[in-house]
Chain A
Amino acid sequence: ILNVEQSPQSLHVQEGDSTNFTCSFPSSNFYALHWYRWETAKSPEALFVMTLNGDEKKKGRISATLNTKEGYSYLYIKGSQPEDSATYLCASPGNQFYFGTGTSLTVIP
């Protein structure tokens, strides 16, 4: 099993604060790194798909970086808003599409 780990498991931040969390994955046989946001009662939605070492992607207040040599990706949220509250999942799919344990983010108004 490909071990994809995320930390922290849960996070509470105040509205307006910036935050970040980590996804770590085995660096061998790397294909891609995916980030998804899963809001309650909705389907998980893709945020980013990253493939290149050093890649950095941005969507609004959310950005992500990728280090394939050391096997980690960071997701950053700038100026957190209550609507950012969700579980954030990462996956490093190869022949299987395994997800990490997820980081549950709660933004307190």
Chain B
Amino acid sequence: GAVVSQHPSRVICKSGTSVKIECRSLDFQATTMFWYRQFPKQSLMLMATSNEGSKATYEQGVEKDKFLINHASLTLSTLTVTSAHPEDSSFYICSASKRRTGVMNTEAFFGQGTRLTVV
């Protein structure tokens, strides 16, 4: 299967600072990438969907100014948590697809996830 690399796997940052998480597709071109957040004892909650070269589509309730997503190339998407607060502490995971949204008849490939702790 295809490989998606996400890093860092763990990060601890001070409240008020920004943290960038990278998601790279290593052996395929990811036209669409998805960013999820997992709350304790819950499933994956979709934060935003990004297509290469265009602005990300954010889910209702996700602050686009706080969670900046950039999908500038077919192999890299980044999520920047700006002015992080303790309530942003969570597990963030990306996935990548070779297809554009609407025709998701191929699997998505996941990164390893990032555990963010804001102190």
Q: What is A's interface to B at a CB cutoff of 8 Å? A: 1, 31-32, 34, 36, 42-46, 49, 51, 87, 89, 91, 93-102
Contact = CB atoms under 8 A, between A and B. Distances in A.
A43 B60 contact: no
Interface stretch (B11-19, B67-75, B77-85, B97-105): B97-105
A73 B59 CA distance: 25
Contacts, number: 70
B68 to A, nearest CB: 19
Contacts of A97: 34, 46, 49, 95, 97, 101, 104, 108
Looking at A46, A93, A94, A102, the one whose CB has the most chain B CB atoms below 10 A away is: A93
A31 to B, nearest CB: 6
Interface residues of B, number: 28
A101 B4 contact: no
Contact of B46 (A31, A43, A49, A96): A96
Interface residues of A: mostly helix, strand, loop or mixed?
A: loop
Interface in B24-77: 34, 36, 42-44, 46, 49, 57, 59-60
Nearest to A4: B43
Contacts of A93: 101, 104, 108
A96 B49 contact: yes
A43 B110 contact: yes
Contacts of B113: 43
A95 B43 contact: no
B105 A49 contact: yes
B101 A94 contact: yes
A66 B34 CA distance: 25
